[in-house]
């Protein structure tokens, strides 16, 4: 899968070479010269990897050549100090426990989480469903082959096993903002970054319905994601999904976007109910008094802008070795880091992750706070940033230490009363300008269908999502999205135990050059020419290519996809021989809910005999076939 759409704004490099909108990281590719702020990409608002002119690498390695976290303003040591998290860790909750996020689960809808050091302790990560296009593969399920989600997870709740209680501020250890919070990993992005907005909506629905399952206490949802939706939040289905989560007691934190000044906030940050987070720039000093808005942050306007800012420039978090960003963005490696564990990135993705961790701290200390109360406390306690306009800064810069000291406002005085979203708008408009495309056929995922081609009924979905019944028996939008993911061996199996993620699982043998070879992920597939201004030029993606006549109702009408097209003749026993695909095979009883039981999807049914090497050979599934 891949994505098509307009290039990102000129202030950024290409915002993630895929259909995801994970706010926060651009990748060093030059944007098209004709790109404008209005051409915001609907992607994992992906971060810029590397130093981003902050010269933190140089400052942190000048004396010895070895990276020093105390000298690097982007280190988690300095970040947690600047936002007051280290002050929070010295406080205690009603049970006398240090305020470290304990007892709070943060849901991360992203590219997955890799079980690297700092995220691999027992109970740290719980796997939700893998709703990505890679979710059917045992070898890649839940894992982060891209690198973005792991970076976010480290910021939110990373913690080295060697950290001792009472010494969380040890600069030699990696410690995230809420080091004792749990992470719920809900992967929506495939290994090339491809994600459709319907996958994100499905993920949010699942989180709301299962927020208390399996010992979880999901109170925070991090969305370092955004689309440049073409409709008001008052009808957008993604906005409806996050509002349902908010109403269920989950604080939704979304990145504002990385397309720069005067650009509208991405969806769902555009929804005024949730927490929209922009990035602050420390200006190369340890004091917060001179901090400003990062130039890449979408500012929005007086009617909707970031609610607050948090550090998001040149942030050092955990590296995902062998991932896409790791391989293709060596500039993200931290100079002088002898451990080889760290990676540097910038964006509103990182800023959102910082706030998600801070919310986990606040909710451990005050578990009865409503999302509206959490938002009010963070806004009223923020550092004012007088040099910035109220539109640019929102309430100011995050100060979680101060938020924990303020009295709790009454729920009635801070209740938000904005118009709510109906969710009845078009799924296609929610995608904005960016779409997933099947490179094997050139088919673009567009129109009122979800990621797996099922028709989208906005009214039916909105009603079910509001009631918390959008997922029924492993099905969402009348489609079963994944096989083993829904068994007890998948998400319900608590965590990443050493048994499940043994050394053998992550050895060089498993992730060898054979498995992730240059053939599969070749330079041709990912080099800059593929995502260059030539490929994304106005000539290639001209109005002629995307005009209404090309994608008109005639082209995608019921006539084109009518029963006559997929008639008995097309799918007859001649084409699909009766011995293999008989009427009995495809009858309603065959595809009944009982038919697709755990037994049907067991390793026995999908044995190596059925899917032989010949069936799955590199010839049959070649790069040319899948356009990788």
The catalytic residue positions are: 110, 148, 349
Q: Which residue has the tokens 């070795």?
A: 321
Buried b (16+ CB within 10 A) or exposed e, 310-328: bbbbbbbbbbbbbbbbbeb
Residue 466: other Cβ atoms inside 10 A: 17
Distance CA 3, CA 9 (A): 17
Q: By CB neighbour count within 10 A (0-12 exposed, 13-18 middle, 19+ buried), where does 337 fall?
A: buried
Contact 319, 331 (CB under 8 A): no
Residue 228 has, within 13 A of its CA and on its CB side, a CA count of 23
Query: Could you give the CA distance from residue 70 to residue 79 in angstroms, rounded to a whole number?
Result: 10
Q: Which residues are within 8 A (CB) of 467 and not within 5 positions of it... i.e. 6 or more apart? A: none
Neighbour tally for 66: CB within 10 Å = 11
**Would you say 256 and 298 are in contact if contact means Cβ atoms under 8 Å apart?**
yes
Give dist(CA 276, CA 394) in Å, integer: 9
> Is 86 in contact with 178 (CB distance < 8 Å)?
no
Distance of alpha carbon 439 from its chain centroid, rounded?
A: 23
Query: How many beta carbons lie within 10 A of that of residue 174, not counting itself?
Result: 27
Whole-angstrom Cα distance, residue 314 to residue 345?
5
User: At residue 307, what are phi and psi to the nearest 5 degrees?
Assistant: -75, -35
Establish how many alpha carbons lie within 13 A of residue 353's alpha carbon, considering only the half-sphere containing its beta carbon: 42
Torsion of CA 222, 226, 232, 234, to 10 degrees: -20
Q: Which residue has the tokens 């899948």?
A: 626
Helix (H) or strand (E) holding 376: helix 371-381
Q: Which residue has the tokens 């994970």?
A: 22
Cα 399 from Cα 467, distance rounded (Å): 35
User: Helix or strand or coil: residue 340?
Assistant: coil
Give 512's DSSP letter: -
Residues 340, 319: contact at Cβ < 8 Å? yes
CA 80 to chain centroid = 22
> For residue 268, is the peptide bond before it cis, meaning its omega torsion is within 30 degrees of 0?
yes
Q: Are 20 and 31 in contact (CB under 8 A)?
A: no
């Amino acid at each position: 899968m891949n994505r098509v759409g307009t290039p990102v704004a000129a202030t950024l490099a290409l915002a993630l070479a895929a259909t995801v909108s994970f706010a926060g990281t651009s990748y060093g590719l030059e944007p098209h010269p004709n790109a404008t702020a209005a051409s915001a990409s609907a992607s994992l608002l992906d971060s810029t990897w590397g130093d981003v002119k902050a010269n933190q690498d140089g400052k942190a390695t000048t004396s010895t050549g070895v990276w020093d976290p105390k000298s690097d303003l982007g280190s988690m040591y300095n970040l947690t100090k600047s936002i007051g998290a280290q002050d929070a860790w010295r406080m205690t909750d009603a049970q006398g426990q240090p305020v470290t996020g304990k007892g709070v689960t943060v849901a991360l809808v992203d590219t997955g989480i890799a079980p690297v050091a700092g995220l691999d302790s027992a109970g740290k990560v719980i796997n939700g469903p893998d709703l990505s296009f890679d979710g059917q593969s045992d070898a890649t399920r839940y894992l982060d082959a891209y690198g973005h989600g792991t970076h976010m997870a480290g910021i939110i709740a990373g913690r080295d096993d060697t950290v001792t209680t009472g010494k969380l501020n040890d600069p030699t250890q990696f410690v995230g903002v809420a080091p004792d919070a749990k992470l719920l990993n809900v992967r929506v992005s495939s290994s090339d970054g491809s994600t459709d907005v319907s996958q994100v909506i499905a993920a949010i629905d699942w989180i709301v319905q299962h927020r208390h399952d399996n010992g979880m206490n999901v109170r925070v949802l991090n969305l370092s994601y955004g689309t440049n939706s073409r409709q008001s939040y008052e009808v957008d289905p993604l906005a409806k999904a996050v509002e349902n989560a908010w109403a269920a007691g989950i604080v939704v934190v979304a990145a504002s976007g990385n397309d720069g000044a005067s650009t509208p906030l991405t969806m769902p940050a555009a929804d005024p109910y949730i927490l929209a987070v922009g990035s602050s720039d420390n200006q190369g000093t340890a004091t917060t008094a001179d901090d400003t808005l990062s130039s890449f942050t979408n500012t929005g306007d007086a009617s909707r802008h970031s609610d607050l800012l948090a550090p998001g420039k040149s942030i050092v978090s955990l590296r995902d070795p062998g991932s896409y960003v790791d391989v293709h963005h060596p500039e993200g490696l931290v100079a002088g880091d002898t451990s080889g564990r760290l990676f540097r990135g910038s964006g509103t993705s990182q800023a959102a992750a910082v706030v998600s961790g801070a919310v986990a701290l606040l909710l451990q200390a005050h578990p009865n706070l409503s999302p509206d109360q959490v938002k009010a406390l963070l806004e009223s306690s923020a550092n004012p940033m007088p040099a910035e306009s109220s539109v640019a800064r929102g309430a100011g810069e995050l100060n979680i230490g101060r938020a924990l000291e303020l009295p709790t406002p009454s729920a009635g005085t801070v209740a938000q009363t904005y118009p709510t979203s109906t969710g009845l708008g078009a799924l296609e408009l929610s995608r904005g300008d960016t779409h997933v495309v099947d490179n094997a056929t050139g088919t673009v995922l567009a129109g009122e269908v979800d990621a797996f081609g099922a028709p989208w009924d906005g009214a039916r979905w909105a009603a079910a999502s509001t009631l918390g019944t959008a997922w029924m028996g492993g099905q969402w939008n009348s489609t079963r999205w994944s096989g083993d993911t829904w068994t007890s061996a998948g998400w319900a199996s608590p965590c990443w135990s050493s048994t499940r993620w043994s050394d053998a699982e992550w050895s060089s043998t498993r992730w060898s050059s054979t498995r992730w070879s240059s053939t599969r992920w070749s330079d041709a597939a990912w080099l800059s020419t593929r995502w260059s201004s030539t490929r994304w030029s106005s000539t290639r993606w001209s109005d002629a290519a995307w005009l209404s006549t090309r994608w008109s109702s005639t082209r995608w009408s019921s006539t084109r996809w009518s029963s006559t097209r997929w008639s008995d003749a097309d799918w007859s026993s001649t084409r699909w021989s009766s011995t293999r695909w008989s009427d009995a095979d495809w009858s309603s009883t065959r595809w009944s809910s009982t038919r697709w039981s755990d037994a049907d999807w067991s390793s026995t049914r999908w044995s190596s005999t059925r899917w032989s090497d010949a069936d799955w050979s590199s010839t049959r599934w070649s790069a040319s076939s899948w356009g990788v």
